[in-house]
A and B are shown apart, each in its own frame.
Chain A
Amino acid sequence: MATAEAHIDSHAHDDHEHKDTFITKYIFSQDHKTIAKQFLITGIFWAVIGGGMSAIFRIQLGFPDADLGWLRPLLGKWVSAEGALDPEFYLALVTMHGTIMVFFVLTAGLSGTFSNFLIPLQIGARDMASGFMNMLSYWFFFLSGVIMFISLFLETGPASGGWVVYPPLSALPQAMQGSGLGMTLWLVAMVFFIVSSLLGGINYITTIINLRTRGLSMWKLPLTIWAFFLTAVIGVLSFPVLFAAALLLVFDRSFGTSFYLSEIYIGGEALPNVGGSPILYQHLFWFLGHPEVYIVLLPALGITSEIIATNSRKPIFGYKAMVISMLGITVLSFVVWAHHMFVSGLNPFLGSIFMFLTLIIAIPSAVKVFNYLTTLWRGNIIFTPAMMFSIALVSVFISGGLTGIFLGNSAIDIQLHDTYFVVAHFHLIMGAASFFGMVAGVYHWFPKMFGRMLNEKLGYIHFWLTFIGVYLVFFPMHYVGIAGFPRRYYSFTNYDAFSGFTDLNAFISIAAIITFIAQFIFLFNFFYSIFRGRKATANPWRSNTLEWTTPIVPGHGNWPGEIPAVYRWSYDYSKPGAKEDFIPQNVPFSQTPESNFPHETEEIAFENDIDEIVIDETGEFREEGNHSH
């Protein structure tokens, strides 16, 4: 810590350093690293709430006859005198679980944390293009979270129409309690969330395009940065559409318009609205909603690409194919949205077009999987907790991706739509995969964030409980789904067709609750290690990317002196002839004649153009790196 701070003080670039008070340093900070930690810790807070909600509704699903009276101190009137959960509150829990996990945990907590933390550090920038916008981005997210949190305590409950909040259900307070004030707050919170996302996304794009260090061409970027870049592009293009959808819903709810409402008779009266279409909302919602899947998944894939390469001690296989796959996924993510609507009454011809486009997206996804597998092949694998979560990500990405081939096929989707098969599918590919990516990122970059290491043994225990737990929860759900059980059901006892699987549902619930509890091992490890963890070294994973050339705890401005220049891609692991099994990106080819390929030797001639001074700097940093092992 002390040395790092000494670096900052000697660092002339920042003229506002002296003004740092507690408030500017930890609260209204414009430093991307602090903002990243704010996103992470807020994300963890929401993950506990969102996960806790799932534990409660899993009790209801697994043990429908259980007496939930003991939850009354927490849930109050939502537990009846007989100890039964209120059916409407069950829907509220499902809705808020989805909203919180998708937006607050996996969008803000994942993309917000790691885009903020890694973009400047890995591209060699002092900070984001606009530190102020970046700060606003966090505080709009915070505000959004506060509003959503308040909505949990309303008399009428929070929004309860499913996380997709389809109108007319979400537009008519007569239709359910949660569509009253709870829904209003949901919409307001989402508007602030969208503002936050846009401020962040514009910043990420600008920073990556403009602030790369000398020599760092786009084709030398680590895959993490490519992933964050494309994620931000998707977000900037799709979130405004959700904003429009939300705005029109606000109009319908509060100003008597009929964008989504038509021919409705409810509560004993016929409403005057005609001419609107609920399907319009679905189109607008899924125009964000589907890209949103990739907004949460791509950063996780970027993070794991980096971690798998580093810990296999091998270059990522097919770097260009990986980038092109991600580009392909980015473009395709905008033209598949209606596969969520095959049985919504959509024109069947449109359905077949979207089936075709949807199944194309399996191709870049398959390429990515095979490239990960080839990266592991003949590697020298070090099982850090981060690496294990990355391998687990590949596993759930395969499992969840393959079931997408069923659901993307409109004919098969007729039966599977809105059953537990879908729940299993998206929890694996979107929930578990992104969550594993996020946790892997925390394990991997914790030393850079806090200058200390997480405890590995606890990491292993956390990993195995989580990984096995996730499969025990979601794999059985496929069977339940194939048997046709619909999702968002409070109870199945009304039907003969859904009367089976009581034991399997109980099993899933137990597995889910244990998995949830296992996350507290991680929480303990996280908060304990921030203060008491083993001190980190400069480059603990012997990695190539630029963030490991900064001081152990980088100060404001990230590098105390000149920013290092970049000469090579970030995947020179186990290069034949090299002394070490890794060559950081800032090492020029002229210093590694023993391992250069012919075309790399040619590049030595251009190194002077990149920057002469930097070669000395690099030498200095290499020394620092050598201390570490």
Chain B
Amino acid sequence: MFGFYLLLAIFLVLGILLVIFRIGRLINVVKSSDKKIVTGSNKVNAILMLLFLIIGFGLMIYYSAFYYDDYVIPVASEHGVLTDKLFWRTMWITGAVFVVTHILLFGFSYKYRYKEDRKALFFPHNNNLEMIWTGVPAIVLTWLVISGFMAWEDITGPAQENAEQIEVLGYQFAWSLRYGGTDNNVGDYDYRLIDATNVHGQDFTDRAGFDDFNSRDLVVPKGKEVLLKIRARDVLHSVYIPYFRLKMDAVPGMPTQFKFKATKTTQEMRDELGNQDFNYEMACAEVCGRGHFSMRKRVVVLEQAEYDEWKAKQKSFLAQNPEFMSAVPDDIKELAIVSSRIDQ
């Protein structure tokens, strides 16, 4: 019954609107305002343009200033500080252009609204003006490009030799992690070897992989370079850690990588934010299907000493799944037993 009344009310409102519309049209015909070049609406619209400008700027400044802490998230990686600096530099430049051009746009619209006794200025071109506003943006953009280029070179350059190697594998709909172990070297893989247990398709003929171990959380040391070796095994995914300003697609058949250095431990960030429940998080940023929004992975940043301690405690994949020993070639079985610490 409620639905029926709602429908009735909607029809009634529409009917009233239609009547108002018809009356308005008739009034226009009587006033013959149709035949004038402009009506009173012209001035109303001009004033509204000005109001739009003022109120719009007011809201923008209010929100940007008072909700700053809501939309600006802390940064916890070395390169993130750099990209944030570029971001805010670009913000100030484009912000200034935004404000000035909008004042001109709506200001002119208001100021030069139609007046019967005024004639518009015939001003088809002016080479000097056009030179200026081609040249100035070109110079400013060059500056932005060069600073962006330099940061980009740093971020995407080769990782240090001793960087912590961690393999991140994306699949529908989770991440799996594999650490290089004591030799800090992630072993080979072959996607054909993947099964329910050997999620990464680790190839047990490669001795570098014997000490590799999996971890539930992405645990990284503070202040030491970490190299994420990124893979996907079904569709595209994208490793995204907002607080580290880190994002890189995971592509089936084409390993990618991203290096970074964390600058604040989880505990430090908790203290900074005054939130003891805080955790760094990793998300998926490339649409990958039904569960795209649910690929959360916890990221933990530890002090170097804590990290070393944590790492030493981890059990290698082989030690946890000794049945894969059978896949190790006989001539290096000894080595596998030693480096996987399977007997400890």
A residues sitting closer than 8 Å to B (CB atoms) are: 87-88, 91, 161-162, 166, 168-169, 172, 175-176, 261-266, 268, 270, 274-279, 312-321, 343-345, 348, 351-352, 355-356, 359-360, 362-363, 366-367, 369-374, 376-383, 388, 391, 394-395, 398-399, 402-403, 405-406, 409-412, 414-415, 417-419, 455-458, 460, 464, 467-468, 471, 475-476, 479-480, 482-484, 486, 488-492, 494-498, 500-501, 534, 542, 571, 573-576, 581, 629
Evaluate whether A479 and B63 lie within 8 angstroms (CB atoms) in the complex, with A379-B120, A415-B242 already known.
yes
CA–CA, A314 to B233, complex, Å? Answer: 60
Contacts of A377 in B (CB 8 A): 104, 108, 112, 121, 123
Checking B104, B151, B252, B291 against A87 with a beta-carbon cut-off of 8 angstroms, the contacting residue is: B291
What is the distance, in angstroms, from A594's C-beta to the closest C-beta of chain B? Answer: 13
Partner of A359, one of B145, B251, B296: B145
| Contact-residue size bin, chain B (C-beta under 8 Å from the other chain) | 35 or more
Q: Which residues of A contact B274 (CB under 8 A)?
A: none
Residue of B nearest to A266 (CB): B234
Interface residues of B in 136-189 (CB under 8 A from A): 137-138, 141, 144-145, 148-149, 151-153, 155-156, 171-172
In the bound complex, what is the Cα–Cα distance between A279 and B248 (angstroms)? 13
Given A279-B254, A415-B87, A494-B293, A479:B123 Cβ within 8 A: no
B5 within 8 A of A: no
Contact of B122 with A by CB under 8 A: yes
CA distance A581 to B190 in the complex (A): 76
Rounded to whole angstroms, the CA-CA distance of A595 and B9 in the bound complex is 60
Q: Which of B39-47, B210-218, B318-326 contacts A (4 or more CB under 8 A)?
A: B39-47
Q: Which of A172, A378, A490 sits near B112, CB closer than 8 Å? A: A378
B60 contacts the other chain (CB 8 A): yes
Asked whether any CB of chain A lies closer than 8 Å to the CB of B48, the reply is yes
C-alpha spacing A355/B146, complex, angstroms: 10
- Smallest Cβ-Cβ distance to B84: which chain A residue: A415
Are A376 and B112 CB-contacts (below 8 A) given A264-B252, A355-B145? yes
Residues of B within 8 A of A402 (CB): 94, 97-98
A439 to B148, CA, bound (A): 38
Given the interface contacts A168-B236, A314-B123, A363-B137, does A383 sit within 8 Å of B45 by beta carbon? Answer: yes
Task: Known pairs A489-B292, A491-B293; list 7 more (Cβ under 8 Å).
Answer: A91-B292, A175-B288, A373-B104, A383-B109, A455-B25, A497-B243, A629-B37
Interface centre among A176, A264, A343 (most CB of B within 10 A): A343
State whether A168 and B238 are in contact (beta carbons under 8 Å apart), knowing that A262-B253, A318-B125 are contacts in the complex: no
Q: A318-B125, A373-B105, A456-B41 are in contact. Are A488 and B292 (CB under 8 A)?
A: yes
Q: Shortest Cβ distance from B211 into chain A, in angstroms?
A: 24
Which residue of the partner chain, among A161, A394, A464, contacts B287 with CB atoms under 8 Å? Answer: A161
Cα distance A11–B60 when bound, in Å? 59
A319 in contact with B124 (CB, 8 Å): yes
Provided the pairs A88-B289, A314-B120, A574-B121 are in contact, do residues A412 and B235 lie with their beta carbons within 8 angstroms?
no
Complex interface residues of chain B between 78 and 102 (CB less than 8 A to chain A): 80, 82-83, 86-87, 90-91, 93-94, 97-98, 101-102
Q: Given A87-B291, A412-B87, answer yes or no on A266-B172 (Cβ-Cβ < 8 Å).
A: yes
For the complex, give the distance between the alpha carbons of A172 and B21 in Å: 54
Is there an interface contact between B296 and A495, defined as CB atoms closer than 8 Å?
yes
Do A405 and B141 have beta carbons less than 8 Å apart? yes
Which one of B71, B172, B287 lies within 8 Å of A479 (CB-CB)?
B71
Which residue of A87, A168, A319, A343 is within 8 Å of B290 (Cβ)? A87
